[in-house]
Amino acid sequence: MKMNEEVKVVFESYPNIFKEKLKYLRQLILEVAADIPEIDEIEETLKWGEASYLYSKKKVGSTVRISWNKSLPDKYGMYFNCSTTLIPSFKSIFPDVFLYQGNRGITF
């Protein structure tokens, strides 16, 4: 999938090390979505200035956002809707692997 031009501009503003890591996360998101038959299309856009991936069908999946943030200059993250069970599920499967931000994000 060709990268959305607005997302591309945001990625280019990141430090090189995080640019590459976030491009890898983006690729994982797209690969996982491609393996799920219920997901026919993904929209790549910006939400709150962060790369966001939304599914075209309602009730399938959840928006995923990825970003590097100047306030945590040595970290980058993946963020989810806090009303989903995604973070609790990750915590139960990977309790000591990731740094979690409440029910909304994983920090790497």
- For residues 78 and 18, give the distance between their C-alpha atoms in angstroms, rounded to a whole number: 12
Q: What is the pLDDT of residues 12-24, one digit of tens each?
A: 999 999 999 999 9
- For residues 100 and 85, give the distance between their C-alpha atoms in angstroms, rounded to a whole number: 13
Q: What is the pLDDT of residues 28-71, one digit of tens each?
A: 999 998 998 888 788 999 999 999 999 876 666 789 999 998 88
- Return the structure tokens found at 21: 């890591």
In the three-class reduction of DSSP (H, G, I as helix; E, B as strand; rest coil), residue 81 is classed as coil
**Cross-strand partners of 77:** 67, 107
